[in-house]
């Protein structure tokens, strides 16, 4: 079907299918009209010793500043509802300015299993719920293979807002969110943690190895808000498994390890 013959809804669906899943401005920009405009004359260079008339751009938020602000906010939350409100009021992570929704958690907070991924994707950002896109559907099937679903697991991420274009989060963004994540885990106090993907595993275990080395081994997860460690297992991210289905055999072994440990702790 030609673009000229599409309805607005059909055109929107076509744009999303082609990867245009973000709006970057409130009004359309006519680039053809812009290219026809004469170029502005070059401005003379300002000598190094001269005073600029405009203020310099503000520096990006430092990791220590965002983390300090989030530690203070997270420390005051004594319930999951209070933690969510603290995140909604938090302005120390720049991702909040570009995201559509806060993506807090899904599932059963009373469950003995807590699953943490890296960051929301496009569909998660639209719905405000973690793991609801194609990788989330595979995660649901993975849980189903060991007799679990979202009523017997609690799911969240290391980041609560989507990085634009699903880019890799910066150290500053992870540092700003980490105190909330630590408090989140401490408030839920699951019997077992699962870290989905290398980025989440490395951030929460404070390790440098990649997921190939981290998976298949049990770790003791600790944070300042926990009085005892929680057994933690790292697994491949479902998005990686969709691209590399040959690794599903390794993931099945990890899931069997998880099922056995949950049975021991029941």
- Pair of tokens at residue 67: 């983390």
pLDDT level of residue 17 (50, 70, 90 thresholds): low
Q: Residues 35-64: what's their mean pLDDT?
A: 43
- Pair of tokens at residue 72: 């203070």
Q: Indicate if the pLDDT at residue 167 is higher than 90.
A: yes
- Could you report the per-residue pLDDT of 211-249, keeping only the tens digit for each? 999 999 999 999 999 999 999 999 999 999 999 999 999
The DSSP result for 36-54, as a single string, is: HSPPPPPPPPPPTTSPPSS
Work out the percent of the chain whose per-residue pLDDT is above 70: 76
| Four-residue CA torsion sign, 164, 170, 176, 182 | positive
| Four-residue CA torsion sign, 97, 99, 102, 105 | negative
Report the C-alpha dihedral over residues 129, 134, 136, 139, rounded to 10 degrees.
180
Least confident of 4-18, 46-60, 85-99, 185-199: 46-60
Mean pLDDT of the chain: 85
Instruction: List, in sequence order, every beta strand (DSSP E) within 101-191.
Output: 106-107, 113-117, 154-157
Q: Residues 117-137: what's their mean pLDDT?
A: 97
pLDDT level of residue 68 (50, 70, 90 thresholds): confident
pLDDT of residue 46: 37
Q: Using CB atoms within 10 A of its CB, is residue 52 exposed (0-12), middle (13-18) or buried (19+)?
A: exposed
Work out the percent of the chain whose per-residue pLDDT is above 90: 73
Query: How many C-beta atoms lie closer than 10 Å to residue 51's C-beta?
Result: 6
Report the distance separating Cα 210 and Cα 218, nearest Å.
Answer: 15
pTM reported for the whole predicted model: 0.76
Least confident of 7-11, 161-165, 174-178: 7-11
pLDDT level of residue 7 (50, 70, 90 thresholds): confident
**3-state SS assignment for residue 235:** strand
Report the distance separating Cα 94 and Cα 61, nearest Å.
Answer: 8
pLDDT level of residue 70 (50, 70, 90 thresholds): confident
């Amino acid at each position: 079907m030609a673009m000229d013959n599409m309805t607005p809804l059909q055109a929107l669906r076509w744009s999303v299918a082609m990867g245009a899943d973000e709006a970057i401005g409130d009004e359309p920009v006519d680039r053809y009209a812009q290219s026809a405009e004469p170029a502005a004359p070059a401005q003379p260079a300002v000598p190094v010793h001269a005073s600029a008339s405009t203020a310099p751009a503000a520096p990006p938020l430092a990791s220590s500043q965002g983390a300090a602000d989030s530690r203070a906010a997270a420390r005051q939350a004594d319930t999951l509802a209070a933690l969510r409100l603290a995140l909604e009021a938090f302005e120390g992570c720049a991702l909040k300015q570009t995201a559509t929704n806060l993506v807090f958690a899904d599932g059963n907070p009373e469950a003995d299993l807590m699953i943490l991924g890296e960051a929301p994707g496009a569909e998660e950002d639209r719905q405000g719920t973690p793991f609801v896109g194609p990788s989330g559907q595979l995660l649901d099937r993975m849980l189903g293979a060991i007799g679990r679903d979202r009523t017997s697991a609690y799911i969240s991420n290391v980041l609560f807002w989507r990085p634009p274009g699903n880019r890799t989060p910066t150290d500053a963004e992870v540092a700003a969110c980490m105190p909330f994540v630590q408090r989140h885990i401490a408030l839920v106090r699951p019997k077992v943690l699962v870290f989905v993907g290398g980025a989440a595993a490395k951030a929460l275990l404070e390790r440098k190895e990649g997921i190939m080395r981290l998976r298949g081994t049990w770790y003791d997860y600790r944070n300042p808000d926990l009085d005892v460690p929680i057994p933690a297992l790292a697994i491949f991210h479902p998005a990686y498994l969709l691209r590399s289905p040959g690794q599903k055999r390794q993931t099945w072994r990890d899931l069997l390890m998880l099922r056995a440990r949950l049975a021991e702790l029941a």
